[in-house]
Amino acid sequence: MTAIATLALAAPAQAACGGPVRSYPSHWRHKYRPPLVLGDSTMIFAVPYLAHLGMQADARGCRMWSEGMQILRARKHAHSLPHLVIMGLGANWTITRADIEDAVELLGPKRVLGLIAPREEGGGTSSDAYNVRRAGRRHRNRVKVLDWPRFSAPHPGWFSGDGLHMTYGGANAYAHFIARLKHFAPWPPKPRRRHAKQPQPVPPQPAPPPATDAPRPPGAP
């Protein structure tokens, strides 16, 4: 009975979270894929702004880190994972060090992982933001941290009463803050192979004329 009651309660709760809100930048003409930005309910208002700034966004209420990892695994399996992936999660449940390490391993050494340090209700931070910042120090070349709590602290007007979800003005600022990582979107150029220079053949030199006795002047002995 307990399991049935739990399922009965979970279904309406999941439905209350709503479906994903997605966008893709229009008129994308680059050869590489636009950055993929994953978020929870705090990112929903920012989704259209992110598309306008040249990023594909996918946000859903109640989304936890595990669901974000499922999306990344599916995109990698479909060979549609871009060079830059940005994760803005943490409002629901927690982000552990092991969670971040799993994401770093999934993306591999050739991609860049952007991590948004999350705010908590009331505008503070928790171990989630600490673990995100620590990952940026641990993987300096592969993990880029966007410290949203510190950046947004002087702007309480960007947020609703819970200090977590944003107004449209805050969502616009949030999207522009995320766009700071856009320069990591292109794949780095492949190093050119240096071919060893082949020695140039030396052109044949003309043979010197044969030596002859110089004519003697008249009267010489």
pLDDT at 9: 34
Per-residue confidence (pLDDT) for residue 209, from 0 to 100: 64
Provide the pLDDT for residue 208: 65
Burial zone of 38 (CB within 10 Å; 0-12 exposed, 13-18 middle, 19+ buried): buried
CA–CA distance, 112 with 135 (Å, rounded to integer):
13
Domain ranges across the chain: 17-184
Per-residue pLDDT 10s for the chain (221 aa) are: 333 333 233 344 455 799 999 999 998 999 999 999 999 999 999 999 999 999 999 999 999 999 999 999 999 999 999 999 999 999 888 999 999 999 999 999 999 999 999 999 888 899 999 999 999 999 999 999 999 999 999 999 999 999 999 999 999 999 999 999 999 999 998 777 776 666 677 677 766 666 555 555 566 55
The pLDDT assigned to 16 comes to: 74
CATH number listed for the domain at residues 17-184: 3.40.50.1110
Q: Shortest CA distance to 104 belongs to which of 72, 80, 75, 60?
A: 72
Reduced to 3 states (helix: H, G, I; strand: E, B; else coil), residue 123 is helix
Q: Please give the structure tokens belonging to residue 205.
A: 């030199």
Is residue 148 classed as helix, strand or coil in its secondary structure? helix
CA 177 to chain centre: 14
Tokens of 5: 């009651």
Alpha helices in the chain (DSSP H): 2-17, 47-52, 65-77, 97-107, 127-138, 148-152, 168-178
Handedness of CA 25, 177, 174, 67 (dihedral sign): positive
pTM of the model: 0.81
